[in-house]
Amino acid sequence: MTDKTTDTLSEEELNARHADKMRKKKAARDKIMATKTIEKGLVIVNTGKGKGKSTAGFGIIFRSLGHGHRVGVVQFVKGRIDTGERLALQRFHDLVTIKRMGEGFTWETQDRQRDIAAARQAWEAAKEMITSGDYRMVLCDELNIVLRYDYLDIAEVVDFLKNDKPEDVHVVITGRNAKDELIEVADLVTDMTQVKHPFRSGVKPQEGIEF
C-alpha cells in the first residue's frame, strides 16, 4: 500500500480510490438492506419546533397518491393557512378524502369546550378512516397539538394505534410536542429542528411557502 496523501494523488488514482470506496459502501448497504424484510403499516410521527412537519406529512401523502393509493387526511386544527395543500389535493379528488375539523388554532377560539368537542369529532373520523379498509394511508395533521392540550386522551390514542389499527395501514401524525407515549408506539419519528427561520429577519408568511 502507498502512503501518499490525497494531495499527491493523481486524478486517476483519486478516481480509482473513489471507485473502490464506493464499491465497499454499496456492498455494505446491499447487505444491510437484505436483512430488512418486514412489510407493515407504519406509525410515522413528525414533530419538533422547526418547519416541515405538516409539509413532509403532505409530501408523503402525495407520494402515496402518486402510486394511486387511496388516502385520508384529517386536519385536527383549522385556521392554519393551508390553502396550497388543499388546492393541490383537489387534483387527486378521485383518491383522497379530507376531513377538516376543529375551529381554528386554540388561541383564535379561546373556547376550551368547543375545542374538546372538535378534537373528539376529528378523532372519531380518523379512527373510522383508518379501520375502514378504504385507505392505505391516513394523515392526522396536527394531532399532537390536541394531545398536548389533553383535548384527547393520549392513552386512548396509543391503545387504538397498538390494538385497532389494521396491520397494513400507515398512519402519519404531525405537530410539535409529540408525547413520549406516542413516540414509544411509533415506528418512525423525526424531529424537525429549527436551525434558522426567516420570520426572525422580518419576512412575512408567503403564499406557497407557509400556506
State the maximum Cα–Cα separation within the chain, in Å, rounded to a whole number: 74
Assigned C-alpha cell, 75: 386536519
Q: Give the span between the Cα atoms of 1 and 7, in whole angstroms.
A: 16
Nearest distance, CB of residue 2 and a second copy, angstroms: 18
Scan for cell 429542528, then name that residue: 193
Q: Give the span between the Cα atoms of 156 and 95, in whole angstroms.
A: 29
The answer to whether 141 and 107 are in contact (CB under 8 A) is: no
φ, ψ of residue 102 to 5 degrees: the values are 80, 160
Q: Which of 149, 153, 128, 151 is nearest to 138 (CA)?
A: 128
The helix (H) or strand (E) run that includes residue 168 is: none
| 4 touches a second copy by CB under 8 A | no
Number of residues that bind a second copy (CB under 8 A): 91
Of positions 2, 33, 163, 167, contacts a second copy by CB under 8 A: 33
Our CB check for a second copy shows the closer of 3 and 94 to be 94
**Contact window for a second copy (CB under 8 A) among 45-53, 121-129, 139-147, 153-161:** 45-53
φ, ψ of residue 158 to 5 degrees: the values are -65, -40
**Contact window for a second copy (CB under 8 A) among 119-127, 139-147, 158-166, 196-204:** 196-204
| 195 touches a second copy by CB under 8 A | yes
| 10 touches a second copy by CB under 8 A | no
Q: Give the span between the Cα atoms of 177 and 67, in whole angstroms.
A: 31
Amino acid residing at 143: L
Q: Give the span between the Cα atoms of 148 and 115, in whole angstroms.
A: 13
Nearest distance, CB of residue 113 and a second copy, angstroms: 6
Binding mask 80-119 for a second copy (x = CB under 8 A): --xxxxxxxxxxx-------------xxxxxxxx------
| 198 touches a second copy by CB under 8 A | yes
Site for a second copy in 56-75 (CB under 8 A): 56-60, 62-69
| 177 touches a second copy by CB under 8 A | no
Our CB check for a second copy shows the closer of 3 and 207 to be 207
| 194 touches a second copy by CB under 8 A | yes
**Contact window for a second copy (CB under 8 A) among 19-27, 117-125, 126-134, 159-167:** 19-27
Of positions 136, 154, 160, 181, contacts a second copy by CB under 8 A: 136
Q: Which of 94, 169, 86 is nearest to 127 (CA)?
A: 169
